[in-house]
């Protein structure tokens, strides 16, 4: 594959349908389709509204969308420095193993540096062994000493109501 035919662009509001399609493909692949509750209106509001909460880059090969990454700012209190949290990185199955994931992460790392960030971090499903190999091959370090906790749904709502 000629990677000269690959380019990365910051998504715009016109890409909302494509972004939702990517999210659904990723969720299906991870057997999490039932957890996708968002829609185009929701994504339009939170990705491209007045107070956008996240951004998306899209990778194109020969003008065909083949990958995406959704990310948002975070902050390290210990370092006193901003960072980027990568929520999703997805490459369509037929395009894997061609260097696209690496190009997407390099692009995101450059973007983080340009914004004065000191890190890019993300979570990966434990069962996704190929992703873990890929990330470790880049030199990324798993943070085994941390547990991820989440409040959502009824538990979240009841906490807020008390």
Q: What are phi and psi of 28, to 5 degrees?
A: -60, -45
Query: Which tokens in the block code for residue 128?
Result: 């996704």
- The rounded distance, in Å, linking the Cα atoms of 88 and 95 is 16
CATH number for region 3-161: 3.40.630.30
Please indicate whether residue 135 is annotated as part of the active site.
Answer: yes
CB-hemisphere CA count at 13 Å for 103? Answer: 23
Of the residues 61, 68, 90, 135, which is catalytic? Answer: 135
pTM: 0.92
Q: What is the pLDDT of residues 21-64, one digit of tens each?
A: 999 999 999 999 999 999 999 999 999 999 999 999 999 999 99
Question: Which of 16-25, 110-119, 129-138 is least confident?
Answer: 129-138
């Amino acid at each position: 594959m000629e990677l000269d035919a690959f380019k990365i662009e910051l998504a715009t509001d016109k890409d909302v349908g494509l972004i939702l399609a990517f999210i659904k493909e990723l969720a299906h692949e991870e057997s999490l389709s039932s957890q996708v509750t968002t829609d185009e209106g929701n994504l339009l509001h939170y990705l491209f509204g007045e107070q956008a909460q996240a951004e998306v880059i899209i990778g194109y090969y020969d003008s065909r969308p083949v990958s995406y990454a959704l990310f948002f700012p975070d902050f390290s209190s210990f370092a006193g420095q901003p960072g980027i949290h990568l929520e999703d990185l997805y490459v369509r199955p037929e395009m894997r193993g061609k260097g696209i994931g690496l190009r997407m992460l390099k692009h995101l790392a450059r973007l983080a540096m340009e914004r004065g960030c000191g890190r890019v971090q993300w979570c990966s499903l434990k069962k996704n062994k190929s992703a873990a190999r890929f990330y470790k091959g880049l030199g990324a370090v798993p943070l085994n000493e941390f547990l991820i906790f989440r409040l959502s749904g009824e538990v979240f709502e009841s906490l807020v109501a008390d």
